[in-house]
Amino acid sequence: MEIVNIEEKAFLGIFLASVEAFPTRFRPNQYRRPNGTNPEGEVHGLLFGQRIISQKGATTFNVTLSVPNQIVHERNADGIMPSVVHIDRIREVTEMFPGYQYLGSFHSHPERRGDFHKKKTVDFSEADNRSALGSADDQGEGLLEVIFGLTCLERRARTQPEHIGTHIIHNCCGVYKYSLACFIAEPDGNNLVDADNLICTSASGMHFVDFE
């Protein structure tokens, strides 16, 4: 049993990083990114917090901090290749602080409005699967793999928060529509598995009337 609680600041870190790098050409009526800026597309980052194991063997991942990777080898709308060296730098410093244990990683799946699907957009690719399972093998324990699907609309969306299965929260914020999905990578596993219970009050509690 894996319970995942993503606190507000961690969720905002994922959301804002994904919005900042969202491809300009995917936005309505904007086709070129500003001259001189870095490539837009997917984002990748690390998740920190507390891992709590109950006497009955259930594991709770309490995610309190998300740190986007600023230095990457390559970034586009279809993928991202983070730098392992710079990942290690982030972990080296963050894990010195009590209460910030490495819990896994996140990355975004930006989509054009017509291609966005609240469930399919957060499906993991074979590359996602291999990378997450490899990290779990190296770590020697289960890790989180959070996928944040995102699209941009012409106007503010009017939709109700929706929980899909046990591991996806679908919602909107302003002109952005998103799905937050959480998977578990186990050492020696063959595939990522759905989290048994994804909790994120910020993702599931926001509604369009909150921003009127």
**pLDDT for 154-200, tens place per residue?**
888 777 889 999 999 999 998 999 999 999 999 988 899 999 999 99
Handedness of CA 118, 120, 124, 127 (dihedral sign): negative
Inter-residue contact 33 to 52 (CB < 8 Å): no
- Mean pLDDT over each residue of the chain, to the nearest integer: 90
Domain boundaries, the chain: 2-211
pLDDT of res. 17:
96
Q: pLDDT confidence of 91, banded at 50, 70, 90?
A: very high
pLDDT at 207: 56
- Candidate from 1-5, 12-16, 30-34 with smallest mean pLDDT: 30-34
Residue 112 to residue 13: CA distance in whole angstroms: 22
Mean pLDDT of 95-120: 95
| Bigger pLDDT: 31 vs 54 | 54
Asked whether the beta carbons of 17 and 43 are under 8 A apart, the reply is yes
The DSSP code sequence of 77-91 is TTEEEE-HHHHHHHH
Does residue 26 surpass a pLDDT of 60? yes
The domain 2-211: what is its CATH number?
3.40.140.10
Q: Which residues pair with 49 in a beta bridge?
A: 63, 101
The Cα 105–Cα 91 span in angstroms is: 11
Residues sharing a CB contact under 8 Å with residue 8, sequence separation 6 or more, in sequence order = 201, 202
| Closest C-alpha to 144, from 65, 46, 75, 71 | 46
pLDDT range class, residue 209, cuts 50, 70, 90: very low
Cβ contact 118:165 at 8 Å: no
How confident is the model over 107-130, as a mean pLDDT? 93
Is the pLDDT at 93 greater than 80? The verdict is yes
The type of residue at 14 is I
Are residues 81 and 72 in contact, defined by beta-carbon separation less than 8 angstroms? yes
